[in-house]
Structure 1
């Protein structure tokens, strides 16, 4: 008689899979790579930070994972061709694409320059578009797979930087279109929406600002990068085989109503 527990574990396993993770050198991208590798996936790390990218590759190799690093700027179509050659030459196929690379600005509408706006849009939105355009046919040829686009709660709500908000809303919408287009290829496409996370992207914040932001969350703490990594690994696995076109908040309850949390705290 088949062991039901074994079948459940097999659904979450990524043995035999190959994943590409952008923005993988640190923060959430690094934890996504660790979670995927821990479940048996080979991983191609992609980042503009070559030193940190190579260091992470060495760490994962030391623990027995099949991993490689390729420096690339996700906003450059030619770099995506380099990524494609690297993953196919090294691992022979690709089954998972995680569009995690992202940048954030800190300018209001009246202050942001056209160059700053374009830089954020190029990395956060154009980069994911190019990644899907380049690699989706290879996921199809491998029998299907999973694409995870890392948006933000800013793609469900807002952020003080208009370019960041627009790019993350755009990525949310692009995910819906891709889920429709790639579904017949057996490719699932979902977006995740991290909230306030304890990652290098928030290193600019003072301890007071960090505490104030955490106090607005029902859970009362920032998220940790590994928690986003676990969500990505789940969506990459067969356990998520009927999930596509979804937008999944991982935000400590922010989108359940931060104002309600503040009112509860005050009373």
Structure 2
């Protein structure tokens, strides 16, 4: 960090995968990190990794699609770690299906967690950022924002997060707050394992097939995405806002 002040970060969906890797990376850079997920107990492994390395972390249980829970969670973070001025909107779920099979519940669940969750978290944290004259909001989009068979709901929210990000950049920039999005390609997580299961493929074979289509000839790891998020969350990214960075091992067109 280029500042002696320990800034507080909130990472949603941080019990595992990209969120956990991001929380650990931000803590290694000197941030106090609120590890937020649906179940507080599930956050303990990530918190343990951070504290064992000498960092400060707090496990917080929260349904990001519930405004009351979000407000309570952010208040808890502010009281116990300090005002949250870095927010990583990573919480997400999959309810994949072809359009004619997709239920209204499948659609609403994905919309509520990804898009409404990012809105509620940003709204709850932005006051702390404005007061501090410094803020970083990083939201997780996806290469699926470009369209992906069987993911009408997921593609829609990931594209929506890009518009949300650009709007926040315009609204909050004058207060020292930047907003950017990271759009991963194929990354090895529990979510991609479930996708492999959905299409009836062995996960190792699924990864091999994906790697063959990626210019760098490998699939992504959560740490690859955490590296990009850490840049956007840092002091040196103050003149970078409203951007969408595809982290996919090569161009997607």
**Residue 144 (structure 1) aligns with:** 134
Question: Tell me, what secondary structure is at the counterpart of 1:223?
Answer: coil
**Residue 247 (structure 1) aligns with:** 244
**Residue 129 (structure 1) aligns with:** 119
Distance 1:14 1:22, change over 3 A: farther
Distance 1:244 1:108, change over 3 A: same
Question: Tell me, what secondary structure is at the counterpart of 2:100?
Answer: coil
**Residue 47 (structure 1) aligns with:** 37
Q: 1-side partners of 2:218 and 2:9: how far apart?
A: 30
**Residue 27 (structure 1) aligns with:** 17
**Residue 93 (structure 2) aligns with:** 103
1:182 corresponds, among 172, 175, 179, to: 172
Deviation at 1:254, TM superposition (A): 4.7
Distance 1:254 1:199, change over 3 A: farther
Q: Which runs of 5+ in 1 are unaligned?
A: 1-9, 258-267
- Report if the CA contact (8 A) 1:33-1:45 is conserved: yes
CA RMSD for the aligned pairs?
1.4
Q: TM-score, normalised by structure 2?
A: 0.93
Q: 1-side partners of 2:50 and 2:173: how far apart?
A: 32
**Residue 265 (structure 1) aligns with:** none
Q: 1-side partners of 2:244 and 2:6: how far apart?
A: 27
Whether 1:226 and 2:240 are equivalent positions in the alignment is no
Structure with bigger gyration radius = 1
Whether 1:238 and 2:235 are equivalent positions in the alignment is yes
Q: 2-side partners of 1:51 and 1:132: how far apart?
A: 24
Q: Which runs of 5+ in 2 are unaligned?
A: 197-201
1:54-73 residue pairs with structure 2 within 5 A?
A: 54-73=44-63
- Report if the CA contact (8 A) 2:139-2:182 is conserved: yes
Distance 1:100 1:241, change over 3 A: same
1:160-239 residue pairs with structure 2 within 5 A?
A: 160-204=150-194, 205=196, 206=202, 207-239=204-236
